Amino acid sequence: MLVRNLDQLPATAAILPHLLRLLKSDSSSLAEVIELIRVDSAITARTLQMGSSTYYNARGTPCDSVAEAVHRVGFNEVYKLVSYAATAHLLLRALAPYRLQPDQFWKRSVSCALAAEQLADHVGVNRNLAYTAGLLHGVGMVAIDCWSQREEIDLHFDSEGLPAETTASESRLLGTTNAAVGAALLELWEFPPAIVEPVRWQYDPAKSREEPLLACLLHVAKWLRDAAHLPEEQPLPPAPEGWVLENLRLLPNDLEIRLYQVRDAFLAARRLLD
């Protein structure tokens, strides 16, 4: 019932599973990637705008074509650029049941994506898959919010903080969690298991059979997501369990170094999008 409220992937975001497949394939060409971007006018406009920014071009010279924008950005950065444009309408929204304002939800999503990307480079898994799992890890919250608005149900979930967050409150009131709803949606939208399974088991990576490494990665990326934006005077959240860190070849001391890297990457992303 919850999933039916978002059973159709919004048009701009529908490009992401196809773009992932192209970027993973050794036989794909840059021309195919460019043609896929050009199919959607909104994404084309945003890609040109970003390619024209001083972040990628010191002079800020306008791009005349998607091809030029892609060449400026670089093949490895294309997916990140397009995903920002494609998911803006999903992520820039208030989520009343979770007491999140649009900017807060967007910050959580993008920071988690950047953290997941960094961890992917560290453990040697596909960075685009990890980035997407991080970017869309809260999509189940969007579905729950949409359902509550449609049914005119006033929902408010209590968060216990990391690692469980609002799952106990969700289970009590709905009989499910945002992770389960999000995984069902991503599966319906034909995202690969390497994205669906980490989202499903983001709160309990020990239960992931198909993608245990990526589930651990997303679990730790969420810690970095929160820790990177805490005021200096606030204590850090409890660190992820030792076995999770071991799976990612991380020591507890590594986390503090990485949270500063995530913070810097987020500030760079915000400058780009602004």
In this prediction, residue 75 carries a pLDDT of 67
Whole-angstrom distance, CA of residue 169 vs CA of residue 204: 16
222-249: b (≥16 Cβ within 10 Å) or e: bbbbbbbbeeeeeeeeebbeeebbebbe
Position 71: which residue type?
Answer: H
Res 12: pLDDT: 62
d(CA 6, CA 159): 24
User: pLDDT above 90 covers what percent of the chain?
Assistant: 57
Q: What is the pTM (predicted TM-score) of this model? A: 0.88
Residues facing residue 138 across a β-bridge: none
Quick: pLDDT tens for 83-138: 887 788 788 889 999 999 999 999 999 999 999 999 999 999 999 899 999 999 99
Q: Which residues of the chain have pLDDT under 50?
A: none
Distances (CA, A) of 159 to 97, 100, 148, 163, 164: 11, 12, 18, 10, 8
- Residue 204's φ and ψ, nearest 5 degrees, are -145, 70
Residue 237: both structure tokens together: 């959240």
68 SS3 class: helix
Contact (Cβ atoms closer than 8 angstroms) between residue 214 and residue 194? yes
Rounded percentage of the chain residues whose pLDDT exceeds 70: 92
pLDDT at 8: 55
Residue 188 CA neighbour count, 13 Å, CB half: 18
d(CA 107, CA 120): 20
The sign one gets for the Cα dihedral 176, 178, 179, 180 is positive
